[in-house]
């Protein structure tokens, strides 16, 4: 039986502090919080776009949301969020939390009439990595997290199967095949409607991109759908640039976004 003295002693015992591990676990857990988020994507030194959407979920170290345009896995993006202070790692007094993140997931989430993409982001910190501004189209992989797994993710250049079309020819890791592979190109609007289409062939092609001959006037930064009937595949792609060759024919340099090109029949 508890004496009155024992009961009194227990009543005035100070509350035990919450273990650090429990606090950190709570910061890692994804919370369903539909806050507005501004997503900024820099495709190269001249082309960029942004979209405002709402979060599906968020933690101190990552976020998920839906976009109308795809972003290639491994690309770095800049987010602006009115983030709760308890989930922040810096800028606690600022009204907007501005943080860099790496695209870890880009999955089609809509339909052919209204295409959307489920994006998953791993936060990488307050500043972009060294060299990013000089080569904003560079792709990255995650390596490890700071503080024994309790901080932001560290980055490294993506492996040899990632797109390297932004690099000079002598620095590219992927093999480019200078062959005429038959493709069809379609420019679609935000509702999935086809605006322009063309049957063409490649000047060269790799796992992550291609140069294709075209008569279409398509600007850099435009999303197109590339179809290969021979391989029975459709790939969301991004026009990186256009150039006119010595023969007077325009080439589009395109980057494959949602998958690599199946080169098994070419290699």
Catalogue all structural domains in the chain, each as residue range(s) with its CATH number: 20-157 (2.40.10.220), 171-256 (2.40.10.220)
Tokens encoding 241: 């640039």
Q: Are 226 and 201 in contact (CB under 8 A)?
A: no
pTM of the model: 0.63
pLDDT tens per residue across span 134-165: 888 788 888 877 766 567 878 888 764 444 45
| Cα distance between residue 196 and residue 189, in whole Å | 10
pLDDT tens per residue across span 193-230: 788 999 999 999 988 889 999 999 888 878 889 999 99
| Cα distance between residue 195 and residue 255, in whole Å | 20
Residue 265: name the closest of 232, 217, 216, 218 by CA: 232
pLDDT tens per residue across span 232-246: 998 888 888 889 999
């Amino acid at each position: 039986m508890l004496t009155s003295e024992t009961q009194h002693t227990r009543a005035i015992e100070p509350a035990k502090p919450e273990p650090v591990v429990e606090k950190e676990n709570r910061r890692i857990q994804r919370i369903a919080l539909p806050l507005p988020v501004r997503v900024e994507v820099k495709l190269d030194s001249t082309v960029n776009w942004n979209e405002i959407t709402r979060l599906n979920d968020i933690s101190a170290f990552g976020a998920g949301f839906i976009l109308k345009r795809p972003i290639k896995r491994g690309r770095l993006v800049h987010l602006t969020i009115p983030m709760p202070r308890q989930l922040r790692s810096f800028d606690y007094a600022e009204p907007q939390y501005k943080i860099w993140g790496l695209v870890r997931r880009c999955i089609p989430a809509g339909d052919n009439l209204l295409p959307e993409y489920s994006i998953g982001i791993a936060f990488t910190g307050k500043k972009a990595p060294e060299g990013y501004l000089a080569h904003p189209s560079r792709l990255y992989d995650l390596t490890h997290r700071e503080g024994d797994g309790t901080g932001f993710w560290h980055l490294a250049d993506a492996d040899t199967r990632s797109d390297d079309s932004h690099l000079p020819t002598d620095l590219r890791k992927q093999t480019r095949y200078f062959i005429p592979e038959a493709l069809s190109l379609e420019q679609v609007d935000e509702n999935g409607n086809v605006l322009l289409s063309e049957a063409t062939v490649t000047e060269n092609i790799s796992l992550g991109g291609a140069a294709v001959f075209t008569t279409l006037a398509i600007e850099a930064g435009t999303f197109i759908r590339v179809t290969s009937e021979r391989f029975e595949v459709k790939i969301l792609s991004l026009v990186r640039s256009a150039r006119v060759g010595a023969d007077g024919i325009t080439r589009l340099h395109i980057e494959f976004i949602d998958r690599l090109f199946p080169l098994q029949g070419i290699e």
